[in-house]
Chains A and B, each alone.
Chain A
Amino acid sequence: MKILVAISNVPDTTTKIQFSDGDTKFNSAGVTYVINPYDEWYALVRALELKEANLAEKVTIIHVGLADSEATIRKGLALGADDAVRIDGEGPDAFFVAAQIASYASANGYDMVLVGKETINYNGSSVGGMIAGLMDLPYVSLATKLDVSGNKATIEHDMDGGTQVVECELPMVVSCAKGMAEQRIPNMRGIMAARTKPLAVVAATPTEALTGIVSYSLNAGRTTCKMIDESSIDELVNLLHTEAKVI
């Protein structure tokens, strides 16, 4: 069984967000990039665990982006992926990314494509479902447990107000959320090994743009917090009723 794990290169969670070019572009100056946490902690680590348990032969990471994301890809290799592919291109939207991954996965016979539940920059939760749509594969989203036996996967995933355990024959696409695995820190051996692991660069497939971002704006933070003394709690209740109008 071969697993393809899609990883996104995102600004670290503590990044101060800024825009440039008249608020039409994200300003990446001075920003530290990391593997999108859901892709790393859950999708990639679970894929590695399946390989360590001899349930998968190979774990490949795939990233759609430009050469400046190679440090992030190497980190995925340091965690233990066998090899990596970078599709050399930058698209306007999730559909571009999904189309690249679907085309690579179809051509190279992967049994399972794992994605994180969403990226922390665009929060779209879209790439996995789009890959599944393009490849006409079953898709289980927001998975919290994933086990494989032969060519069948057993998955627990979130549903409205609960969870569901499902079974599905491979190939398939799964989006991974908290619960599936624990974060790992790459060790020295992994980091050394990652330097020489194969990282193939593949040209992007031309893909039509379905959406694009016109402009960005920062969400206004809360400017003033009204402090209330512990001895006047009734005042808080009154404000919640008359001023905030939420109770």
Chain B
Amino acid sequence: MSVLIYTEINKGRVKKASLESVNYGAKVAELLGTEAIAIVNNADAAQLEEIGKAGAKTILSLKNEKIGSDSMLISAAVEQAAKAHNAQVIIFAFDITGKAVAPRLSARLKAGLVAGAVDYPTVNGNALEVKKNVFSGKATAIYSIGSATKIIALLPNSFPVKSGDNQAKIIDWSADLDAIKPRIIVKEQKSNATGGMVPLPEAELVVSAGRGLKGPENWGIVEDLATALNATTACSRPVADMHWRPHHEHVGQTGVAIRPNLYIAIGISGAIQHLAGVNGSKTIVVINNDKEAPFFKSADYGIVGDAFSIVPKLTEAIKKFKANQN
């Protein structure tokens, strides 16, 4: 028996969401009295050590150039590992890879999937009960997984990453993928121009602005605040639709759903579809010149006033605070 955790390397690092999955998987293994095994492709020694420190007792280390980002091949490799190590529970991050692979594996193994878990499971007989957000963050549902093999895809940023002094046993492992012909041919890769910021889904601090900023030429004050905080920038949908900001910054129901520790919303009215993508944030600050703006009802802190005068002041105050901390 084991808990198998899918992890991956992106841009030279173990993905933060993968480390969260290892932490989570280690807890689930403890709960079930079994072993936490991570699987990773093309990791170097330092990366393997990091996965171990996050709590994996064993790491299945693959060196396979064929797998790439192909969900069919990733799914097949994890399926073989799950069978070889008799996995009761398989953990993914509910990120771009997890959304492509976990459902496929669920259908192949007839393993019930909870897509976007926000808490640790509880045991109820042979079933596991797991919470996840539903209705775009307006409610939570407790799902029960009754199948013999169970898959949990953990919503990123649900728990802070913890690193200990565990040393994993590394097993060089190979998946037999010869029979699978890759059917998806990658023609081109493009990186989002994030100017060195943490990518939005992983960001703990986010500064976001809306139509209240009046035009793309005014984003300097938003970027200055983001830089002072070391935060990532985001925007509301009309802002992306009007091409004031790139599409990958669009948060909300139709854009990216995020749950940073701090979300600062500037000149955003707080429409329900916008809230659907940000209401999981730990703390929300709203800056709006209309004291009736609906966003204040979903905020922790609010300032009523003109963004063009408040935001530069806030940037200065943050800089002063940071200077005093050093």
Hey, which bits of chain A sit against chain B, CB under 8 A?
11, 13-15, 17, 19, 37-38, 93-95, 98-99, 102, 120-134, 138-142, 144, 154, 158-169, 172, 178-179, 208-219, 221-222, 225-230, 233-234, 236-241, 244, 246-247
Minimum CB–CB distance for B247 against chain A, Å = 7
User: Can you sample 24 A-B contacts with CB below 8 Å?
Assistant: A13-B136, A19-B139, A95-B106, A99-B107, A123-B116, A125-B99, A125-B116, A133-B105, A140-B184, A159-B69, A162-B191, A163-B189, A209-B146, A210-B145, A211-B112, A211-B114, A217-B140, A226-B300, A227-B301, A233-B303, A236-B303, A237-B317, A238-B321, A240-B283
Q: Which of B26-34, B80-88, B212-220, B250-258 contacts A (4 or more CB under 8 A)?
A: B250-258
Chain A residues with Cβ below 8 Å from B189 are 159, 162-165
- Known A160-B96, A225-B301; judge A120-B146 contact (CB<8 A): no
Best-buried of A99, A161, A172, A244 by chain B (most CB within 10 Å)? A161
Minimum CB–CB distance for B41 against chain A, Å = 14
- Known A95-B106, A228-B302; judge A237-B187 contact (CB<8 A): no
Chain B residues with Cβ below 8 Å from A123 are 115-116, 132-136, 257
Q: Which of A161, A163, A169, A213 contacts B199 (CB 8 A)?
A: A161
Q: Which of A139, A212, A222 contacts B299 (CB 8 A)?
A: A222
> Do B142 and A213 touch across chains, with their CB atoms under 8 A apart?
yes
> Do B302 and A129 touch across chains, with their CB atoms under 8 A apart?
no
> Do A230 and B321 touch across chains, with their CB atoms under 8 A apart?
no
> Do B297 and A221 touch across chains, with their CB atoms under 8 A apart?
yes
Q: Which 10 A-B pairs have the closest CB atoms?
A: A129-B103, A133-B107, A210-B112, A133-B104, A211-B112, A165-B188, A130-B107, A162-B191, A126-B103, A124-B115
Interface membership of B111, Cβ < 8 A: yes
Best-buried of A93, A227, A240 by chain B (most CB within 10 Å)? A240
Q: Which of B55-63, B164-172, B307-315 contacts A (4 or more CB under 8 A)?
A: B307-315
Bound-state Cα–Cα, A229 to B314, Å? 12
Determine the residue in chain B with the shortest Cβ distance to A155.
Answer: B184
Bound-state Cα–Cα, A218 to B135, Å? 10
Given A133-B75, A164-B188, A222-B297, 14 new contacts (CB under 8 A): A15-B135, A37-B253, A120-B135, A123-B116, A125-B94, A154-B187, A164-B69, A213-B141, A214-B129, A218-B140, A225-B286, A230-B304, A240-B285, A244-B262
Bound-state Cα–Cα, A98 to B113, Å? 13
Hey, which bits of chain B sit against chain A, CB under 8 A?
10-11, 15, 69, 71-72, 75, 94-97, 99-108, 110-116, 129, 132-147, 183-192, 194, 199, 204-205, 229, 247-248, 250, 253-255, 257, 261-262, 272-273, 276, 279, 282-286, 296-305, 309-310, 313-314, 317-318, 320-321
Bound-state Cα–Cα, A236 to B194, Å? 28
Bound-state Cα–Cα, A53 to B317, Å? 56
> Do A228 and B247 touch across chains, with their CB atoms under 8 A apart?
no
Q: How many A-B residue pairs have CB under 8 A?
A: 276
Chain A residues with Cβ below 8 Å from B135 are 11, 15, 17, 120-121, 123
Chain A residues with Cβ below 8 Å from B284 are 222
> Do B99 and A142 touch across chains, with their CB atoms under 8 A apart?
yes
> Do B317 and A225 touch across chains, with their CB atoms under 8 A apart?
no
Q: Which of A94, A133, A134, A246 contacts B261 (CB 8 A)?
A: A246
Minimum CB–CB distance for A168 against chain B, Å = 5
Minimum CB–CB distance for A171 against chain B, Å = 10
> Do B286 and A166 touch across chains, with their CB atoms under 8 A apart?
no
> Do B321 and A94 touch across chains, with their CB atoms under 8 A apart?
no
Chain B residues with Cβ below 8 Å from A209 are 146
> Do A162 and B190 touch across chains, with their CB atoms under 8 A apart?
yes
Minimum CB–CB distance for B9 against chain A, Å = 11
Chain B residues with Cβ below 8 Å from A238 are 321
> Do A164 and B186 touch across chains, with their CB atoms under 8 A apart?
yes
Bound-state Cα–Cα, A213 to B133, Å? 12
> Do B110 and A217 touch across chains, with their CB atoms under 8 A apart?
no
Bound-state Cα–Cα, A233 to B312, Å? 10
> Do A94 and B129 touch across chains, with their CB atoms under 8 A apart?
no
Chain A residues with Cβ below 8 Å from B143 are 211-214
Chain B residues with Cβ below 8 Å from A172 are 183
- Known A123-B134, A211-B146, A226-B302; judge A129-B72 contact (CB<8 A): no
- Known A141-B71, A214-B129, A214-B143; judge A247-B229 contact (CB<8 A): yes
